[in-house]
Structure 1
Amino acid sequence: DGMRLTGALITHYHADHCGGEIMGMQIEGAAQLLELTQIPVHIQAAEREWVLKASGLSAEDLVVHQPGDTVMVGELPIQLVHTPGHTPGSQCFYVNGCLISGDTLFLDGCGRTDLPGGDPEELYFSLTQRLSQVPADAYLFPGHNYSDRPMELMGENRERNMVFKPKSAEQWMMMFGGA
């Protein structure tokens, strides 16, 4: 098909997204990919130590990015949107009118904050401030399909998803803070 792999984008350090051990099971991921081909693995700076510990990757395998960086794939820009909360270095990818949200935002909820590195208040600000910049007509593709549909428009998600109902950080923490 004329395509070649030029890099890997990791949304966050959990084993189901970058490989590693989870509940006694080993999940193949980026480390096994690099056994087949040498490519850069792109992560957020705040996720570096977590990825190194969880994935089997080395520091030399990683390209560490700052919030707002862009990765070019040929002529296609992929904007890296730092969305801490699910993990310290969670990131989404905005490309060509689509948001690939990892575990930051689902069609019917958002990522957990009760796992190591999670922070419910950070997730609130990621959803309401950082992702508020994503246009309403952008398509949302979450990292897991827990819904009866694989995608929806961001504007529809903001109207329907319960995670956007709280009007303040205080309300958010009462509903989702787990305290």
Structure 2
Amino acid sequence: MSIKVKGFDDGVFMENTYVVSDPGSGLVAVVDPGAYTDRIREAVAEGGKLSLIILTHGHADHIFALPEFRRDYPEAKIVACSGERPMLTTASMNNSEEFTGRKLEQEADIYVEDGDQIEFGNETLMFIHTPGHTPGGMCIYTGKILFSGDTLFYRSVGRTDLPESSTVQLVRAIREKLYVLPDDTVVYPGHGPATTIGEEKRDNFFV
């Protein structure tokens, strides 16, 4: 695998913002812009040109710094699942004003469906729709790396006690769409430490 991943939990919600770089092309993607700190900006600059801002879902803790990224990297394209559009564009649904004091409502530039792919430098990003935590939640898979958002965590799963969430849908998505990936796939979740698909199949009692 040629891409490099740096994770930062610099925000108040301890959400993981990932800076993903492809050294061969000099392109950078940010997954879940929940924070915008000097360390994150430096990682983006070291990687090259920010081309994609990818949202696994629309909750406030995962999009909190989207205005700053949009301001400083206007050419970068925002990517989200089409099923998440209502949450991204409605502050009362993404809880941004309630929990952060900021009214965040943002259209994506590119809406993807389950199985869609986007070329990212020398890599291909595949988007996997994993509803349950939110209706349009998605994961990103490339080269035995999975960015799982708030779908799958280390020994846990995303909350399903929220409006629009579903335990049945979440468990089904994990079992049918994520657990079929190679066991050595590295999982970078929206909160907490990294894990692998094999570890979670063996030790995650929530699924």
Which TM-score band applies after superposition, normalised by the shorter structure? 0.7 to 0.9
State the distance in 2 between where 1:87 and 1:2 align: 31
Query: Which residue of structure 2 aligns with residue 91 of structure 1?
Result: 138
- The answer to whether the aligner puts 1:46 opposite 2:83 as a matched pair is yes
Query: Which residue of structure 2 aligns with residue 155 of structure 1?
Result: 198
Return 5+ residue gaps in structure 2 as ranges.
Answer: 1-45, 97-103
Structure with the higher strand share, 1 or 2: 2
Query: Which residue of structure 1 aligns with residue 156 of structure 2?
Result: 109
State the distance in 2 between where 1:130 and 1:2 align: 30
Asked if the contact 2:56/2:137 (under 8 Å) is kept, the reply is yes
Asked if the contact 2:116/2:126 (under 8 Å) is kept, the reply is yes
State the distance in 1 between where 2:47 and 2:112 align: 28
Asked if the contact 1:137/1:155 (under 8 Å) is kept, the reply is yes
Q: AA paired with 1:87? A: T
Q: Aligned match of 2:67 in 31, 34, 44? A: 31
Query: Which residue of structure 2 aligns with residue 173 of structure 1?
Result: none
Q: Deviation digits for residues 97-152 of structure 1, max 9, x if unmatched? A: 1111111000121000111211111111111111122111111111101xxxx222
Asked if the contact 2:146/2:188 (under 8 Å) is kept, the reply is yes
Q: AA paired with 1:48? A: R
Query: Which residue of structure 1 aligns with residue 189 of structure 2?
Result: 142
State the distance in 2 between where 1:2 and 1:143 align: 21
**Percent identity of the aligned residues?**
33
Structure with the higher helix share, 1 or 2: 1
TM-score by length of 1: 0.78
State the distance in 2 between where 1:158 and 1:113 align: 20
- The answer to whether the aligner puts 1:125 opposite 2:162 as a matched pair is no
TM superposition shift of 1:31:
2.2
User: How many pairs were matched up?
Assistant: 150
Query: Which residue of structure 1 aligns with residue 109 of structure 2?
Result: 62
State the distance in 2 between where 1:152 and 1:30 align: 26
Query: Which residue of structure 2 aligns with residue 13 of structure 1?
Result: 58
TM-score by length of 2: 0.68
State the distance in 2 between where 1:115 and 1:11 align: 17
TM superposition shift of 1:2:
6.1
